[in-house]
Amino acid sequence: MKRLFLPLVFVTFLLGPLPLQSAKKTPTFDVHGPTILAFFPPVTEAELLKDPDANTALDDFQFYARKVRQPLEKKGIEFREVYAHRFSIRRGTTVLTFAPKKTQVGYYFVAPGKKPHIEYGVMTDADLLQAADEYFRAAQR
């Protein structure tokens, strides 16, 4: 697979400000159906310029998120990107807070009445679709 890597400044110009600045507040997501929360730690543009690996990981994370969003939507699965060190999930009256331990990048799969499943690291769109099929198919049983 051949991809062009655009300089961060150009990407920022095209996409607008990156949703990477650290938020003090813990975001909360209401789960009413099959949901995947793709999480990445908040980083600044300066941090990305200093760390090419983080920049590449973020680029891949966002690239595959764009590719997988529509196929997941067609399957009735909500897909959200989260740029925070922790986030909360509200299912009915229950609120749980999730904070990744070592690996700060990954995917939180959740469905009503089912134990959440976490995948760490950046996943391709094909890998995300396969993991979603496995997790949510099991949730329907």
Would you place residue 117 in the very low, low, confident or very high pLDDT band (cuts 50, 70, 90)? Answer: very high
Would you place residue 113 in the very low, low, confident or very high pLDDT band (cuts 50, 70, 90)? Answer: confident
CATH number for the domain including 134?
3.40.30.10
27-49, pLDDT tens digit by residue? 999 999 999 999 999 999 999 99
Would you place residue 112 in the very low, low, confident or very high pLDDT band (cuts 50, 70, 90)? Answer: confident
Percentage above 70 pLDDT, the chain: 80
Whether 4 is in a domain gets the answer: no
Would you place residue 134 in the very low, low, confident or very high pLDDT band (cuts 50, 70, 90)? Answer: very high
**How many angstroms from the chain centroid is the CA of residue 41?**
10
Whether 80 is in a domain gets the answer: yes
Whether 14 is in a domain gets the answer: no
Let me know: does 117 contact 109? Beta carbons within 8 Å.
yes
Whether 67 is in a domain gets the answer: yes
CB atoms within 10 A of CB 107: 25
Residue range(s) defining the domain that contains residue 25? 21-139
82-103, pLDDT tens digit by residue? 999 999 999 888 899 999 988 8
How do strand 35-40 and strand 87-91 relate by DSSP bridges?
unpaired
Number of domains in the chain: 1
Whether 53 is in a domain gets the answer: yes
pLDDT value at 9 more than 70 = no
Whether 65 is in a domain gets the answer: yes
pLDDT value at 14 more than 80 = no
pLDDT reported for residue 139: 57
Give the Å distances, CA to CA, from 107 to 15, 121, 125.
23, 8, 12
Which residues are registered as beta bridge partners of 109?
36, 117
Task: Please state the three-class secondary structure of the chain as a single string.
Answer: CCCCCCCHHHHHHHHCCCCCCCCCCCCEEECCCCEEEEEECCCCHHHHHHCHHHHHHHHHHHHHHHHHHHHHHHCCCEEEEEECCCEEEEECCEEEEECCCCCCCEEEEEECCEEEEEEECCCCHHHHHHHHHHHHHHHCC
pLDDT value at 62 more than 90 = yes
Whether 115 is in a domain gets the answer: yes
Whether 41 is in a domain gets the answer: yes
Nearest 5°: the CA angle 101, 12, 82 is: 30
